[in-house]
Amino acid sequence: MLAYIFWHRPYPQIEEGTYEESIMRFHSELGSHPPPGFISASSFAIGAVPWLAGERGYEDWCLLEGSWAMDPLNGFAVTGPRQPSHDHVAAQMAEGAGGLYIHAGGEILRSPQSAVYWLTRPRGIHWQADIAPLRDRWRDAVVWRRQMVLGPAAEFAVEVPGDLEIEVLPPGWQLRCCVKRVRLPR
């Protein structure tokens, strides 16, 4: 399973509620007329991240059956019954960036509130051995690994429900940022 993650924020003059309604309308249209390989889509209001110029914004997660589902998602998102809702939210967006992540362990989170720990690892190590103790200690954590450096975020995303905190990282790993988030609609 892959996650196409899209980070974005509206123009400053766009009201938060209006932008969030536009996001949810687009996700509803996408879910009503899904492309092949599409599993689900979720959107979150997030705290500041470096890849949105240090600003708060939004994080959309589109779960896909595999990389082969990227072309249909890209085509379906901007055509047919989804086009008006896509174009409406896109016209309100000041900035955006995307990334592709492969599921590396854990059950998919459905929590209304969560956090994502964005981690980097030391070069030259086998990451699976280092992630295993982290997953053993925080059983509710979901691990994602960036694919082909397709995006500005760190190599690993570790999702945790609610206010769960990861206090100890594997040796040599670094926390790029921890982002608190709230699932839309709020």
Is the alpha carbon torsion for 163, 50, 154, 182 positive or negative? positive
Q: What is the pLDDT along the chain (186 residues), one digit of tens a residue?
A: 999 999 999 999 999 999 999 999 999 999 999 999 999 999 999 999 999 999 999 999 999 999 999 999 999 999 999 999 999 999 999 999 999 999 999 999 889 999 999 999 999 888 988 888 888 888 889 999 999 888 899 999 999 998 888 888 888 999 999 999 999 998
Angle at CA 140, nearest 5°, toward 28 and 36?
35
CATH of the domain at 118: 3.30.70.100
Domain limits at 71?
2-183
The number of C-alpha atoms within 13 Å of 153 and in the hemisphere containing its C-beta is 29
d(CA 37, CA 60): 17
Split into its structural domains, the chain has a count of 1
So what's the pLDDT on residue 165?
86
Residue 169 neighbours by CB under 8 Å, 6+ apart: 119, 134, 175
pLDDT of residue 133: 83
